[in-house]
A and B are shown apart, each in its own frame.
Chain A
Amino acid sequence: MTPRDSNVRANWRIRLATGDGLSLPVVLLLFVGFLLVPLLPGRFWIIVATEILILGLFAMSFNLLHGYMGQISFGHAAFFGIGAYATGLLMRYFKGTGAGDLGYFEFFFSLLAGPPVAALGALVVGFFCVRLTGIYFAILTLAFGELLYYIVFSWYSFTKGDDGVQGLLPPALFQNAINFYYFTLLVVALAVCLMWRIVNSPFGYILRTIRDNQRRTAFLGINVRAHMLANFVIAGAFAGVAGALWGPFQRSIAPGLLGWEQSGIAVFMALIGGAKLFIGPMLGSVVYTFLHAWVTIYTVYWPLTIGLIILAIVIFAPGGLLGLVKERLGARSKRPTSPEQSAATPETGGAQ
């Protein structure tokens, strides 16, 4: 091996171990993996994979607030739920009492209605939330989320309360699990591409500076609140995309979609996969959703299982699974990133 070869290999490792270098290869691997899922025998895995994609997108939308803006929201499911209800109620409205399937135009119109309605909700809630940070931001988002949950829960004449909305059958083509799966994969892939553009735009870098130091960002003449609000709305809209897909996927929606437990799922996924990396939450969804589907076959003690997993991750791998991989790669490459260097690169938080 010539010295140049080893240099190239070290460079390759360093590139993976710094910043968001790991995300692109993981995205490609995941995408190929998702394409091949229908080759597995049985419908079960297709259903699980669809769920992974939808919840993964939801978790990634949460991570726009957490990983890129440094705030933790315990009410993000409100926008997932609003998107689900906007789509679900419209589908119900178009279907009416008539027999037969929903038309394709009506179906796509209902789906498209989810994200903007969720974004509108996020605009109203975010207007108040971005005034606060840290623990206060977390509790205010929790309070708004629970308030919206109770509104959906109690407004029986409009939302059917805790009965939920059933029979959300998509048009014939998408009733097949494989077709709906590929449709979901397409929508989620497009959303992830858009998100990648957003977080790597100047806007995305301003979010990172806000995360690292709000006051200094303000001193640069940047309107911190306006950027935080814009990000809150964007995150709400992406949660709305995931929510819109949920109704036709599950064929029903319920108020629980807005509750804090649902918000907690996004937090868990981001943590398990790695909140400091772009694709971390999607990887977290792969692990979480798969484990959930698999463990609940054998035991009712799912909370205990996931609780122990979270405990282990918080203590032993605070950067999540991808953070752990990144740390290992960084340790093995000849030039370990010094603390000064990682502090200088805005997106390098690494495992802390």
Chain B
Amino acid sequence: MPDLNVILLQLFAGLSRGMVLFLLSAGLSLIFGVMNVLNFAHATFWLFAGYVTVTIYSYLAEMFEPGFVLLVPAVIGATALMVVLGLVVERFLIRRMYNRELPEQLLLTFALVLIIGDGIKLIWGVQNRRIFLPVTPVEAFGVFINPYYFFIIGAGLTVAIGLWAFLHLTKYGKIVRAAVFSRDMVSALGIPIPMIYAGVFAAGIGIAAFAAGIFSPLLPMALGTDIAIIIQCFAVVVIGGFGSILGTFVASLLVGIVYSFSILIWPDGALAIIFLIVIAVLIWRPWGLFGTELRT
């Protein structure tokens, strides 16, 4: 039995991992819900944004004193850049795919995984990149914990609540939710669907970029991480149910914590346990824990 310290540390690592999974899966689920496109490249955009954040940060760190403050412009800059990139990709590639069959959409976004992944290798080389933040561990619940975990969990919660509020309380959010149910009906009301699509896609990429930025001091950005993450995101949206923000949130925390603890028990098979959960959910409730049966 590992002692309490290890358990608490894994719990915090799992929660912050869950937050990143949530920020990615929420975009993935929203893009799928509204546009019916499963974006295989979502985590690859995330990884790309992570490299951009690290680059901006290290550029700034040469001019100013390194520290948490410099992370703010780095994250904002990377997010803005990725939103623009998202708009461009939607306009020139994804838009051609709306009326195509599922396999073709998957292959297009998978081609983006390969192209962007190798692009990262071309630009940044094969070395891992990360931001080193000077932090002093704080004592909480009797163990010393990197305070940055609290920041990530807080930031994740803020975005989660903000996203929920946007979708449920604002006019544009309601349009997006309506588009999930019936694109034709929304279009018939005179709302320009292509703009909704572009907005949702770019916003999804933007949230992913934000997640990459805040996560970069914790996890080194490395080639291939995107694949491990996107597979976990698929697991999250399947477990939570496509189109359900609450389901995505609960499933993200579940996957993050399960992954974090199974690394202690069976390091090679941490993902295998998650796949077991996915299989169980797909067999028992294919529409996910919080999804509605109608959507399958």
Q: Chain A residues in contact with chain B, CB under 8 A? A: 66, 72, 128, 131-132, 134-136, 138-140, 142-144, 146-147, 150-151, 153-154, 260, 264, 267-268, 271, 275, 301, 303-304, 306-308, 310-311, 314-315, 318, 352
Q: Is the CB of B234 within 8 A of A142?
A: yes
Could you say which of A131, A308, A315 contacts B115, with CB atoms under 8 Å apart? A308
Could you say which of B100, B106, B118, B269 contacts A301, with CB atoms under 8 Å apart? B118
- Residue from B93, B107, B113 having most chain A Cβ neighbours under 10 A: B107
The chain B residue with its CB closest to the CB of A307 is: B114
Interfacial chain A residues near B103, Cβ < 8 Å: 66, 72, 267, 271, 275
Q: Is the CB of A146 within 8 A of B268?
A: no
Known contacts A271-B103, A318-B104, A352-B101: A310-B114 contact under CB 8 Å: yes
Known contacts A143-B275, A301-B122: A150-B283 contact under CB 8 Å: no
- Residue from A260, A264, A267, A304 having most chain B Cβ neighbours under 10 A: A304
Total A-B residue contacts, Cβ distance less than 8 Å: 110
Q: Is the CB of B268 within 8 A of A271?
A: no
12 A-B pairs with CB atoms under 8 Å apart are A72-B106, A136-B282, A140-B282, A144-B275, A147-B272, A268-B107, A271-B103, A304-B114, A307-B111, A310-B114, A311-B111, A318-B100
A310 to chain B, nearest CB (A): 4
- Tell me the residues in window 203-231 of chain B with beta carbons closer than 8 Å to chain A beta carbons: 231
Q: Is the CB of A143 within 8 A of B282?
A: yes
A311 CA to B112 CA, complexed, in Å: 8
Could you say which of B107, B238, B276 contacts A314, with CB atoms under 8 Å apart? B107
- Tell me the residues in window 99-133 of chain B with beta carbons closer than 8 Å to chain A beta carbons: 100-104, 106-108, 110-115, 117-119, 121-122
Known contacts A144-B279, A147-B279: A303-B100 contact under CB 8 Å: no
Interfacial chain B residues near A151, Cβ < 8 Å: 272
Q: Is the CB of B234 within 8 A of A139?
A: yes
- Tell me the residues in window 245-294 of chain B with beta carbons closer than 8 Å to chain A beta carbons: 266, 268-269, 271-272, 275-276, 278-279, 282-283, 286
Is B171 interfacial (CB-CB < 8 Å)? no
A304 CA to B113 CA, complexed, in Å: 9
Given contacts A144-B275, A311-B112, 5 further A-B contacts (CB under 8 A): A136-B286, A136-B296, A143-B278, A307-B115, A318-B104
Q: Is the CB of B106 within 8 A of A138?
A: yes
A202 CA to B279 CA, complexed, in Å: 32
The chain B residue with its CB closest to the CB of A312 is: B111
A307 CA to B110 CA, complexed, in Å: 8
Could you say which of A128, A136, A307, A352 contacts B100, with CB atoms under 8 Å apart? A352
Is B23 interfacial (CB-CB < 8 Å)? no
Is B38 interfacial (CB-CB < 8 Å)? yes
Interfacial chain A residues near B271, Cβ < 8 Å: 146, 150
Could you say which of A154, A264, A275, A301 contacts B110, with CB atoms under 8 Å apart? A264
A106 to chain B, nearest CB (A): 32
Q: Is the CB of A303 within 8 A of B117?
A: yes
Interfacial chain A residues near B235, Cβ < 8 Å: 143
B interface: dominant SS = helix
Interfacial chain B residues near A314, Cβ < 8 Å: 97, 100, 104, 107-108, 111
A162 to chain B, nearest CB (A): 8
Known contacts A142-B234, A151-B272, A352-B100: A311-B108 contact under CB 8 Å: yes
B260 to chain A, nearest CB (A): 17
Interfacial chain B residues near A147, Cβ < 8 Å: 272, 275-276, 279
A164 to chain B, nearest CB (A): 15
A317 to chain B, nearest CB (A): 11
Could you say which of A139, A143, A150, A306 contacts B269, with CB atoms under 8 Å apart? A150
Interfacial chain A residues near B100, Cβ < 8 Å: 314, 318, 352
Known contacts A128-B283, A140-B279, A301-B118: A135-B272 contact under CB 8 Å: no
A268 CA to B103 CA, complexed, in Å: 10
A343 to chain B, nearest CB (A): 15
Q: Is the CB of A131 within 8 A of B107?
A: no
Could you say which of B111, B275, B296 contacts A146, with CB atoms under 8 Å apart? B275
Known contacts A66-B103, A150-B271, A352-B101: A306-B114 contact under CB 8 Å: yes
Known contacts A139-B234, A151-B272, A303-B114: A310-B107 contact under CB 8 Å: yes
Q: Is the CB of B282 within 8 A of A303?
A: no
A132 CA to B234 CA, complexed, in Å: 16
Interfacial chain B residues near A301, Cβ < 8 Å: 118, 121-122
Q: Is the CB of B101 within 8 A of A139?
A: no
Interfacial chain A residues near B97, Cβ < 8 Å: 314
A52 CA to B149 CA, complexed, in Å: 50
The chain A residue with its CB closest to the CB of B267 is: A154
A65 to chain B, nearest CB (A): 11
B88 to chain A, nearest CB (A): 14
Interfacial chain B residues near A307, Cβ < 8 Å: 111-115, 118
Q: Is the CB of A135 within 8 A of B38?
A: yes
A301 CA to B126 CA, complexed, in Å: 12
A311 CA to B115 CA, complexed, in Å: 9
Interfacial chain B residues near A146, Cβ < 8 Å: 231, 271-272, 275
Question: Which 8 A-B residue pairs are closest in the complex by CB-CB distance?
Answer: A307-B114, A304-B118, A150-B272, A307-B115, A303-B114, A310-B111, A311-B111, A143-B275
Q: Is the CB of A315 within 8 A of B96?
A: yes
B96 to chain A, nearest CB (A): 6
- Residue from A143, A301, A306, A315 having most chain B Cβ neighbours under 10 A: A143
